[in-house]
């Protein structure tokens, strides 16, 4: 089990983080107009005077890389070179950004107004800004923000403008182009547009990669893109997409730049604008196609309070140091550098590991609000109190006591928790709850999720009004649960490794360390599409989890055995409950595939049919977690099964048809449910 992880195991408590400054404070005290028209003179890479967007496109069209691909395409298709050349120009036209300072100034003005209405504060770590400023002067910079909202990239540009830093060019999905006016506005504020899929299109790939590389190499502007590829609808970090990272790293591998700074940026929202939109999307209410009018409808959000935003600019990572001893750059000496080549396995592994390392860096610097902990506790309580005869919700003081316990635990695990220590805990709890009136309610001194439809606080059966079907009612409750879950998810990365260990202890056949490890690595492998788990770092993760649980007194680990201590019980229960919905969810997916998957089940039909299956089980009371309705979880589970080879995607005539290996899926389900020892499966799979 040779592990070659890029990060090293260390005490999370020792993480040192910068302080924040609220940038809205100044906006509230001085003129927005003057701010939008301020003198803007950012420092640039090695003092290069930035060229015009036109000059940039010319450089791309004249590059030997593009020339090579154009003549290759022309030879293969028999089209005239000029014709292909024109197509390349057209692609570039469609793609290219046209950054204009005037547009930025327009946004600086309007966003100031919008932000002040929506948010209490926008907090930025200014030391991070200073590090970034330094980095921009030394080497080309790649900005890698987390992606939770449409707001992200406007916010990023807004911040960089505020701090007089070079404005980035941003890789954006083509779907924005649908919004005509907005699309153009974004283009003029530095967005360039890429098609969502262009698999085999050589020419498109060439134009696109050359465009990005040209901007980067010449220090034209920092390049910004989202490692996660798309907005995370669940607030969990998404497993990274590697395409763009491959492209930006290429100039370094080929010696065209000396080094490059990769800057992870963590943007955390106290309340996400798209909160219930995301929940509906995952429940199958289709996502509205991005349209300008749709965006204006979102105006009603303007009347609400969305709390604060924290933006943390992480430590710039030198690609050179990252690649030191891992990438042999001389492998690029034997083919002219402008000829596109598939990256070697060594390179692919390196890019993949780096991507995970960077996403973890984003996670680590995500600010967590007290509400995140409250949501975790309330959800757990919700599921446990479903049993008949129990009073719904939790008493306010009990909740306060528990959240204080959780606060201390999460701090010990290294969470970047923003808890106002100078205020009384009960104060913190009630003000946190008040920011989410749509999700929680307090009645008779008890706090519970705001699940019931208007008119009743009794059990689900009685509350059904005449014109809603049980299914609709279930879905509307699920919206609330999923919204809450998205807040809990923000804290998942803090507890993930200890929680996997807790589950493993639970599932392992004995307390033998070796068996617990087998169980741990099975679960870790199973969930590696769901959470950010660095490939190949099983041992480190296991050790980190052991370290944390031992340090906090929940476990005793001897040479051979792993034992839960008396006082560790509470922690272990909390941790297992944290992952229980996922554990159950994956089992349901397995059961569905065994029971319902017919010969013709295609990938396309997978989500709708499993949704029907789950709704049926939920309504029948055979399933506890509404959360399992999340299409995100279902897709991740399927991806895991495909990865493990338990399900196969057929090619050829039956394209997209899923072929289920029932025996294997069954045994995975049993192992997840603790009915089968893990050892065999693990050995077979790892």
Partner 1 sequence: MQEIMKWNGWGYSDSRFFFNKKGQAEFTGKRYKLSGLIIPALKDWFESTFGASLQHKTPPILNSSAVHPPTLNETFVEELKSTGIPFSHDAEDRVFRAHGHCLHEIFALREGKFGRVPDMVIWPNCHNDVVKVVELASKHNVCLIPYGGGTSVSSALECPPEETRSIVSLDTSQMNHILWIDEKNLTAHVEAGIVGQDLERLLNESGYCTGHEPDSMEFSSLGGWVATRASGMKKNIYGNIEDLVVHIKMVTPRGVIEKSCQGPRMSTGPDIHHFIMGSEGTLGVVTEVTMKIRPMPEYQKYGSVVFPNFEQGVACLREVARQRCAPASIRLMDNEQFKFGHALKPQVSSIFTSFLDGLKKFYITKFKGFDPNRLCVATLLFEGDRERVLQHEKQVYDIAAKFGGLAAGEDNGQRGYMLTFVIAYLRDLGMDYYVIGESFETSVPWDRVLDICQNVKERIVRECKDKGVQFPPLSTCRVTQTYDAGACVYFYFAFNYRGLSDPVHVYEQVEHAAREEILANGGSLSHHHGVGKLRKEWMRETVSSVGLGMLKSVKDFVDPNNIFGNRNLL
Which residues make up the interface to partner 1 (CB under 8 A)? Answer: 255-256, 258, 328-330, 332-333, 336-337
**Which is closer to partner 1, CB of 255 or CB of 645?**
255
CB of 354 to partner 1, least distance (A): 18
Tell the smallest beta-carbon distance from residue 256 to partner 1 (Å): 6
Give least dist CB 343 to partner 1, A.
16
User: Considering beta carbons, is residue 339 or 686 the nearer one to partner 1?
Assistant: 339
* Residue 282 CB, nearest approach to partner 1 (Å): 46
3-state secondary structure (DSSP) of residue 158: helix
Q: Which long-range contacts (CB under 8 A, 24 or more apart) does 407-410 make?
A: 407/370, 407/373, 409/552, 409/571, 409/574, 410/368, 410/373, 410/491, 410/494, 410/495
The Cα 260–Cα 251 span in angstroms is 9
Are 536 and 350 in contact by the 8 Å Cβ rule? The answer is no
DSSP sequence for 104-131: HHHHHHHHHHHHHHH-SEEEE-HHHHHH
Cβ-based nearer residue to partner 1, 344 or 463: 344
The least distance separating partner 1 from the CB of residue 315, rounded to whole angstroms, comes to 17
Tokens of 47: 């003092």
Tokens of 89: 């120009």
Closest separation in Å from C-beta 442 to partner 1: 58
CB of 84 to partner 1, least distance (A): 24
Q: Judging by beta carbons within 10 Å of its beta carbon (0-12, 13-18, 19+), is residue 453 exposed, middle or buried? A: middle
Residue 111's contacts (CB-CB under 8 Å, 6 or more residues apart) are 154, 155, 158
Q: Measured from the CB atom, is 303 or 330 closer to partner 1?
A: 330
Nearer to partner 1, 139 or 147 (CB): 139
Instruction: Compare residues 33 and 339 and give the one whose CB is closer to partner 1.
Output: 339
Spatial CB neighbours of 31, under 8 Å, sequence gap ≥ 6 = none
Closest C-alpha among 125, 191, 375 to residue 272: 375
d(CA 22, CA 27): 10
Q: Which is nearer to partner 1, 255 or 608 (CB)?
A: 255
Tokens of 58: 């010319």
CB nearer partner 1, residue 323 or residue 665? 323
User: What CA–CA distances, in Å, run from 21 to 129, 175, 355?
Assistant: 11, 34, 29
Shortest separation between residue 332's beta carbon and partner 1, angstroms: 7
User: Under a CB-based contact definition with an 8 Å cutoff, are residues 511 and 505 in contact?
Assistant: yes
Give the number of residues written for the chain.
Answer: 686
Provide, rounded to whole angstroms, the least separation between the CB of residue 331 and partner 1: 9
Closer of 320 and 624 to partner 1 (Cβ)? 320
Task: Give the residue with the Cβ less far from partner 1, 201 or 259.
Answer: 259
Shortest approach of partner 1 to residue 168 CB, angstroms? 24
Tokens 């995370």 correspond to 232
The residue among 337 and 624 lying less far from partner 1, judged by its C-beta, is 337
Closest distance to partner 1 from the beta carbon of 329 (Å):
4
Nearer to partner 1, 28 or 329 (CB): 329
CB of 505 to partner 1, least distance (A): 45
Q: Is 399 exposed, middle or buried (0-12, 13-18, 19+ CB in 10 A)?
A: buried
515-529 in b/e form (b: 16+ CB < 10 A) is bbbbbbbbbbbbbbb
Number of H helices, E strands in the chain: 27, 16
In angstroms, the Cα distances linking 675 to 180, 519, 565 are: 55, 12, 25
Q: Please give the structure tokens belonging to residue 141.
A: 């910079």
CB-nearer residue toward partner 1: 64 or 292: 64
Residue 45, CA atoms < 13 Å, CB-side half-sphere: 23
- Contact at 8 Å (CB) between 478 and 426? no
> Can you list the positions of beta strands (E) in 352-477?
394-395, 440-443, 446-449
- State the nearest-atom distance from the C-beta of 338 to partner 1, in Å: 8
Tell me whether residue 261 or residue 571 sits nearer to partner 1 (CB atom): 261
Q: 586 and 503 in contact (C-beta within 8 Å)?
A: no
What is the three-class DSSP state of 495? helix
Q: How many CB atoms within 10 Å of residue 145?
A: 24
Shortest reach from residue 267's CB to partner 1, in Å: 32
Extract the tokens encoding 80.
């005239």
């Amino acid at each position: 089990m040779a592990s070659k992880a890029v990060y090293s195991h260390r005490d999370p408590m020792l993480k040192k983080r910068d302080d924040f400054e609220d940038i809205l404070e100044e906006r509230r005290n001085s003129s927005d107009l003057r701010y939008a028209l301020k003198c803007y003179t950012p420092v640039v890479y090695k003092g290069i005077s930035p060229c015009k967007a036109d000059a940039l496109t010319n450089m791309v069209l004249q590059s030997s890389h593009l020339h090579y691909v154009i003549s290759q395409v022309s030879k293969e298709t028999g089209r005239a070179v000029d014709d292909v050349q024109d197509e390349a120009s057209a692609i570039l036209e469609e793609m290219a950004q046209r950054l204009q300072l005037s547009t930025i100034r327009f946004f600086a003005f309007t966003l100031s107004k919008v932000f002040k209405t929506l948010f209490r504060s926008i907090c930025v770590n200014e030391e991070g800004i200073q590090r970034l400023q330094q980095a921009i002067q030394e080497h080309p910079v790649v900005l890698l923000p987390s992606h939770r909202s449409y707001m992200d990239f406007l916010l990023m540009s807004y911040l960089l403008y505020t701090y007089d830093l070079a404005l980035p060019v941003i890789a954006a999905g083509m779907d924005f182009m649908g919004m005509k006016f907005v699309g153009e506005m974004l283009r003029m504020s530095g967005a360039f547009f890429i098609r969502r899929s262009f698999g085999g299109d050589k020419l498109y790939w060439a134009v696109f990669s050359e465009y990005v590389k040209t901007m980067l190499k010449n220090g034209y502007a920092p390049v910004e893109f989202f490692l996660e590829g798309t907005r995370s609808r669940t607030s969990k970090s998404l497993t990274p997409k590697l395409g763009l990272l491959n492209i930006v790293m290429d100039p370094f591998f080929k010696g065209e730049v000396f080094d490059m700074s990769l800057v992870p940026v963590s943007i955390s929202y106290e309340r996400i604008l798209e909160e219930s939109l995301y929940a509906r999307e995952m429940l199958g209410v289709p996502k509205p196609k991005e349209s300008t009018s749709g965006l204006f409808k979102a105006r009603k959000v303007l009347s609400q309070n969305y709390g604060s935003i924290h933006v943390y600019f992480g430590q710039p990572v030198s690609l050179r140091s990252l690649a030191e001893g891992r990438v042999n750059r001389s492998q690029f000496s034997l083919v002219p550098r402008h000829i596109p080549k598939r990256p070697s396995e060594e390179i692919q592994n390196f890019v993949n590991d780096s991507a995970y390392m960077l996403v973890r860096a984003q996670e680590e610097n995500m600010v967590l609000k007290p509400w995140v902990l409250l949501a975790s506790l309330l959800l757990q309580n919700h599921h446990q109190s479903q049993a008949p005869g129990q009073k719904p919700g939790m008493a306010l003081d009990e909740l306060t006591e528990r959240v204080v316990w959780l606060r201390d635990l999460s701090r010990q695990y290294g969470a970047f928790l923003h808890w106002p220590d100078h205020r009384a805990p009960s104060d913190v709890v009630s003000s946190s709850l008040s920011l989410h009136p749509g999700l929680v309610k307090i009645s008779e001194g008890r706090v519970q999720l705001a699940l019931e439809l208007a008119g009743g606080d009794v059990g689900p059966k009685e509350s059904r009004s005449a014109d809603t079907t049980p299914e609709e009612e279930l879905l509307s409750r699920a919206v609330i649960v999923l919204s809450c879950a998205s807040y809990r998810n923000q804290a998942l990365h803090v507890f993930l490794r200890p929680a996997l260990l807790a589950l493993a202890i639970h599932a392992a056949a004995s307390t033998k360390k070796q068996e617990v490890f087998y169980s741990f690595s099975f679960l870790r492998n199973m969930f590696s599409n769901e959470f950010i788990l660095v490939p190949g770092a099983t041992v480190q993760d296991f050790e980190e989890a052991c370290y944390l649980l031992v340090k906090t007194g929940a476990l005793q680990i001897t040479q051979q055995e792993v034992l839960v201590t008396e006082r560790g019980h509470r922690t272990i229960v909390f941790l297992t409950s944290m992952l229980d919905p996922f554990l159950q969810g994956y089992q349901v997916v397995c059961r569905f595939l065994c029971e319902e998957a017919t010969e013709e089940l295609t990938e396309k039909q997978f989500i709708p049919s499993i949704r029907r299956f789950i709704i049926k089980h939920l309504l029948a009371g055979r399933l506890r977690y509404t959360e399992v309705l999340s299409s995100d979880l279902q897709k991740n589970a399927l991806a895991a099964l495909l990865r493990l080879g338990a399900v196969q995607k057929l090619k050829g005539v039956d394209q997209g048809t899923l072929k289920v290996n029932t025996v294997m899926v069954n045994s995975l389900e049993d192992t997840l449910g603790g009915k089968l020892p893990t050892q065999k499966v693990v050995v077979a799979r790892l």
